[in-house]
Amino acid sequence: MSEEKMDAVATGEVDEKLYSRQLYVMGHEAQRRMMASSALLFGLSGLGAEIAKNCILAGISSISLCDPSPPNSFDLCGNFYLDPAHLSSGGDRASLSRAELCREKLAELNHYVAVKTAEVPSLTTSHQEEILSLIDGKVSVVIVTVPLVPSLVIAMNEKCRQVGACFIYSVVTGVFSKAFCDFGPSFVVTDKDGEDPHQSQVETIIPDNPATVKVLEDQGRHGLETGDYVTFARVKGLDGALDTSKEYKVISTGPYTFELDGVDLSSCQSPGTQGYITQVKKPVTVSFQTYEEALENPTELMMSDFAKFDRPPLLHLFYKALDSFMDRHGGELPHPGNEQECDEMIQLCKSLDKGDIFNQKSEILVKHFASGSRAVLSPMCAAMGGIVGQEVLKACSGKFMPIKGFFYFDADESLPEGLLPAEEVTPTGTSRYDSQIAVFGKSLQEQILKQRMFLVGAGAIGCEMLKNWALMGVGCSEEGHVHVTDMDRIEKSNLSRQFLFRSHHIDHFKSKCAAEAAVGMNPDMRITSYQEKVAAETEHLFGDDFYDKLTGVCTALDNVEARLYVDQKCLFYRLPMLESGTLGTKGNTQVVVPHLTENYGATRDPPEKSIPVCTLKNFPNQIQHTLQWARDYFAGIFTQNAEDVNSYLSTPDFAKKLEAQQNTKMDTLKSIQSTLVEDRPRSFEDCVVWSRLKFEELFVNQIHQLLHNFPEDQVTSNGTKFWSGSKRCPKPLSFDINAVCEDAGMRNHFDFIVAAANLRASMYGIKGRTDEEYFVSVLKNVIVPDFTPKEGVKIAANDAEAENEPSAVDNVDSEAEEILRNLPKPSELAGFKLNPIEFDKDIDEHMRFVTACSNLRAMNYSIPTEDNHRSRAIAGKIIPAIATTTALVTGLVCLELYKIVGSPRKELKADAYKNAFVNLATPFITLSEPMPPAKTKAVIKGKEWEWTAWDSIDVNKGDITLAELMEYFKTEYNLEISMLSHGVSILYSFFANKKKVEERMPMPMSKIITSITKKEFPPNQLFIILELIANDLETDEEVEIPYVKFRFR
């Protein structure tokens, strides 16, 4: 893209509600550039539809769709907006082109994007001039997504070079695919990796030549490399010689030290301390080969699977042979199962092979490649649509590093050993599954239709998954079924990546709307939607009888806890589990196959570090600390206080219940006294006065008190300054309604008053207002008392001191009784109730308060402030998300689903399955073999048994007695049970009371358990988990065995 286009800024403002999660990936500037960019897309089969969908959701300015071809049956497995009625053999819209059929539905995805069609008679060399005329200076990027003859592709690429447009050529042929990018001779990339700039804190800057910087080690490594640039903020000392507006070049000398290249600070009298260091990310200029150059001499072939390190050059050869085949056959591709055409492809590969890479093993591969070349598979289209869609966004925005040259990707491990018989792969010409039949055969297609899958989550990944399954035919027969559950309702921010939803779906349940949309794509899909959490409390719904009927589970969740629960269910029922997740441009997939791979919970990430309490309360040094403090304060003042009052007014024995909370009793009573009596507002003006006094308390008086306890010049017992290192000496603020902070440019003083007053009013059911003139007039008359420091106030200097502080128990009971006695009786306030306000990151009033509160505290401690957008991400723990990554990971997951259903005439081993880690920003894609499950050895009847987490001892004898169970283990396993338990209940032990043992021996196992637990089994429960300790009857040694899966119904 030309520099003029790259500098273009959209005239409209960015819709932060719609693009909320995407903005945390792309940023506002890149989003504006996208909003000023236009794309021209050739080809609306499966891949073209995926790319168009992703670009429209992302919010480019316009996209023109060019595809004069009518749909064919192969398209139906990849294009989610085509159906059998659109085929030329019938239907009222059968005469329309693929572009015309898709335009209207694609336009519905985002009303900000202009979706148009561009007309040409055909995408062939005979109409080359008409095609090239569409590529003009208004186009930012041209994308070709259907196989075209090389001469036409080269001509289109050359025209793009002439007008300064980026060029992308990508095709999907069965389970093989390629993508090529040419963004010109000097494309500027503003951010090459998408990572946040490295930030660290200064411990000291040594005034030397060159100046040496040491960072605080407890804040982590600086992460800088030699040649990087940094800026400094809030640095003390160095006689003011360090220019905070200047960028400094770095020479890294260690993980915690670096020098400032060419900077002489040796004349400074004092070292620098306590500042902030921020990396400056520099743009890079990248040069690309043209398609013609790269076709003959590719300088880069991007790798995706190191188990196939020799595959990219081989696929490069295959696609060159396919080009030659198309040249010979008038642009036609080989037919499924046609041995003669496959042999022709072999000969073409041999004739084009200049590097001697084609061998006998390659012949089998190229036969598969040729036989499936017409197939348009939904998972491949989704995966490549995600990758190429992101390349389009890179071309429009200059954000992230593009693919340089060619990228090849395949999933040949899902294919049979040899070609299937022609009758097995011959398409019908009318079936929506012709593409899958052409690659995998009719038998596998029948198995796909019979799948009974449980999809947990109907958000971004869930929507993409249902779309893929509808096109694949998952659960689309009488024997098949899809179950989907999600508790959440649709919000506006979902619409930029959860493409099954529209604006009229807002506030409706995700699972219900997603299920309806999937059926709209494939009316044969048998699907049930739920609005339930998958957890222990819903096992009456998702119990033994439910899982017993499933063939697999797919997770589309956003939290680890839920994933671990589902993982345990898959282990117990021995079900395959397909897991995926995204974080901005990063994504991962994991396939869990019973007995072959480790389960999801076998390896876990370390828990997230929590912020020390003392750091939050008195010694913050990062904006994350002040935001967490602000969120906690919000929860206390607007949620907990209201709930305490409501509890007091509605709980008959409130005082008695309070006795059980000895540590928090006084805090609770004081908050009730303040909220219900002392500070209860009668008008909105009272709320404004309260907020002004809160400002003084939080950002003036508390700081004065802290400095009274720990003066600025205080030294510790070992002689070091108390306020040093990560402890930043605070300064009280002076209230100024017009004050603007230097970093974020926000009116935090004013915002705090307005937001606090309105939230307070909402809590009491008082009508609020936001007009500035009113606040100015009220604040003028507020009398703010002078601060007097309190003596005897103990402030802990660290968490260790805080833990050792003695609890103030003296006179608590008498003081509590005094407060309770003076509170108005609940009967006096009949009908009075406060409105507790739960923090919601997507409610602007909530974020206005939290951001202002956080920034004011940051200003107290000279911490750089943040704007509302960035504060929302940190305080709300928002997971950045973009449609491209979501499409990619779901495509990869569905490729694994083919393998789980079963490759025809081939038994798959663990190395055929693939886990993936991707980062579309760099770009980086790697596939790897899943880890096998850990094994435990046991000797049963003299034979060694290696069991894993997938194994259990299954007892399917009905509800047998304890005596029968013990005899069964003696007979079958030569084991004597010494202890038997269910959960926390011991059912039998060798040391138990003999009379009890004798009573239980003739009892059915279920009766023993219910007699102990006093709980009946749910009617849908089929299994009981039993844990046992057992010894070998011959050696008397304890044998380590898995749990017992006891089926009693």
Residues designated as active site? 614
The count of other CB atoms within 10 Å of the CB of residue 203 is: 22
- Number of residues that make up the chain: 1049
- Which pair of structure tokens corresponds to residue 930? 């899943």
> In a 10 Å sphere around its CB, with 0-12 CB exposed, 13-18 middle and 19+ buried, how is residue 462 labelled?
buried
- Which pair of structure tokens corresponds to residue 46? 């499966």
> Given its phi and psi angles, is residue 254 left (phi above 0), alpha (psi -120 to 50 degrees) or beta?
left
Return d(Cα 766, Cα 680) in angstroms, integer: 11
- 875 to each of 222, 604, 708, how far by Cα in Å? 24, 25, 31
The count of other CB atoms within 10 Å of the CB of residue 327 is: 12
Per-residue b or e along 801-816, where b marks 16 or more CB atoms closer than 10 Å to that residue's CB: ebeeeeeeeeeeeeeb
| C-alpha 79 chain-centroid distance | 25
- 617 to each of 172, 797, 900, how far by Cα in Å? 57, 10, 52
Q: Which residue has the tokens 């000969």?
A: 347
Question: In terms of Cα–Cα distance, which of 915, 922, 895, 899 is closest to 384?
Answer: 895
> In a 10 Å sphere around its CB, with 0-12 CB exposed, 13-18 middle and 19+ buried, how is residue 281 labelled?
middle
Count the helices and strands in the chain (H runs, E runs). 36, 32
Using alpha carbons only, give the angle 377, 382, 388 rounded to the nearest 5 degrees: 120
Say if residues 395 and 140 touch (Cβ distance below 8 Å). yes
Return d(Cα 69, Cα 47) in angstroms, integer: 15
Say if residues 397 and 921 touch (Cβ distance below 8 Å). no
Question: In terms of Cα–Cα distance, which of 114, 897, 34 is closest to 391?
Answer: 34
Question: In terms of Cα–Cα distance, which of 667, 602, 599, 666 is closest to 636?
Answer: 667
Question: In terms of Cα–Cα distance, which of 548, 556, 553 is closest to 592?
Answer: 553
Q: Return all residues near 451 (Cβ < 8 A) that are at least 6 apart.
A: 474, 475, 480, 551, 552, 897, 901
User: What residues are paired with 1030 via a beta bridge?
Assistant: 977, 1039
Return d(Cα 686, Cα 236) in angstroms, integer: 41
Return d(Cα 874, Cα 800) in angstroms, integer: 27
- Which pair of structure tokens corresponds to residue 507? 């506030």
**Helix, strand, coil fractions of the chain, as percent rounded to 5:** 40, 15, 40
How does DSSP assign 818-886, residue by residue? HHHHHSPPGGGGTT---------TT-HHHHHHHHHHHHHHHHHTTPPP--HHHHHHHHTT-----HHHH
Return d(Cα 109, Cα 119) in angstroms, integer: 22
- 565 to each of 193, 314, 484, 600, 1023, how far by Cα in Å? 34, 43, 16, 10, 17
The count of other CB atoms within 10 Å of the CB of residue 718 is: 5
Return d(Cα 583, Cα 886) in angstroms, integer: 9
Say if residues 350 and 344 touch (Cβ distance below 8 Å). no
> In a 10 Å sphere around its CB, with 0-12 CB exposed, 13-18 middle and 19+ buried, how is residue 207 labelled?
buried
